[in-house]
Amino acid sequence: MHRSFGQGPASKTSSKVSPHGPGQSKGSKMANKAKDNWRKWMWMFLGVIAALQLYFVRELLAAFALFALGFAGIAVCLASLYLAQKGWESGVARLAASQNTWVLAARRATAVSEEWVRRPLRRPDSEPAH
pLDDT bin (cut points 50, 70, 90) of residue 49 is confident
Residue 129 maps to a domain: no
Find the Cα–Cα–Cα–Cα dihedral 37, 41, 46, 50, rounded to 10°: 130
pTM of the entire structure? 0.44
Residue 20 lies in a domain: no
What whole-number percentage of the chain has pLDDT above 90?
Answer: 38
Q: Which domain holds residue 36?
A: 26-118
Across 26-32, average pLDDT? 73
Q: How confident is the model at residue 25 (pLDDT cuts 50, 70, 90)?
A: low
Domain count, the chain: 1
Task: Check whether 39 has a pLDDT greater than 60.
Answer: yes
Residue 5 lies in a domain: no
Q: Is residue 94 part of a domain?
A: yes
Is 7 within a domain? no
Question: In this structure, is residue 128 part of a structural domain?
Answer: no
Domain annotation covers residue 39: yes
pLDDT at position 32 is: 80
- Determine, yes or no, domain membership for 19: no
- In this structure, are residues 53 and 61 in contact, taking their beta carbons and an 8 Å threshold? no
